[in-house]
Structure 1
């Protein structure tokens, strides 16, 4: 059996760390790289020329129409979208008024886009 003996006269010396050239490159290079990327990101965010518009978007003018007996989406689209594609106008009217079907009732008020008059 092997025995190890400790020298009682020896004091515990602090361990010295030696860093080679690659260690210094990592120790200094990684933080420098991270700071460079962060600075570039911050610079681009602060100097960005993208801005929100201060003007309201201009949409298609609409007119409120109360449905009377005999009206349909097709007849209203034909009247207010003269010269345009009637089926596209019907889809636009349905979308503007949140209509799930093409069914409308007498007394309903619909917003109709005025494409040409």
Structure 2
């Protein structure tokens, strides 16, 4: 007999208790009953007839042709619902992928007209940006002046000729 651990009491001590292997049950066709008087069987005779020896001709992995595979409600839902849910998710991802627009940046800078300006004594790029493009942010205009004129610094000398973007 095989022995397995069993929990005894609240002290959580494990003790070895014997475990009985259970006999496998199989269905037996019922015999027709007479309609005259119901037969009463004792509990012990019922238990003796219920304990059936396992069928040695079949292994546990083989299924009888009479017992078809049956699915529960949850199994049917899983078998049908899971592929449908995965298909819908794939279609949504495919639709999002095909309808998205590729954007490398916000937008291409609009070309603006430029004005050639000779820098006066004490004038800075900030002053020029405020004077020639008052509706725009001076920081953006100064950055555009530096880029247009390929300047390495934001310092300019008096008399220097530079291109300044005009207001839009």
- Structure 1 length as normaliser, TM-score? 0.52
Q: Is the 8 A contact 1:62 1:112 kept in 2?
A: yes
Q: Which residue of 1 aligns with 2:83?
A: 31
- Cα deviation for residue 20 of structure 1 reads 0.8
Task: Return the offset for 1:32.
Answer: 0.9
CA contact (8 A) 1:72 1:104 kept: no
Between Structure 1 and Structure 2, the one with more helix by share is: 1
What is the CA distance between 1:108 and its match in structure 2? 6.4
Q: Is the 8 A contact 1:64 1:112 kept in 2?
A: yes
Q: Where does structure 1 lack aligned partners over 5 or more consecutive residues?
A: none
Alignment of 1:73-92 (within 5 A): 73=124, 76-77=128-129, 80-81=132-133, 84=134, 90-92=138-140
Q: CA 1:15–1:91 in structure 2 vs 1: closer, same or farther (change >3 Å)? A: same
Aligned equivalent of 2:4: none
Higher strand share: 2
Distance in 2, Cα, partners of 1:66 & 1:25: 79
- Where structure 2 has 5 or more consecutive residues not aligned to the other structure, the ranges are 2-17, 24-52, 64-68
RMSD of Structure 2 on Structure 1 (CA): 4.4
Cα 1:91–1:114, aligned 2, differ >3 Å: closer, same or farther?
same
Look at both structures and tell me which one has the larger radius of gyration over its CA atoms.
2
TM (normalized to structure 2)?
Answer: 0.40
Q: CA deviation at 1:28?
A: 1.7
Aligned to 1:70: 121
Partners in 2 of 1:91 and 1:13 — Cα distance?
81
Size of the aligned set, in residue pairs, is: 105
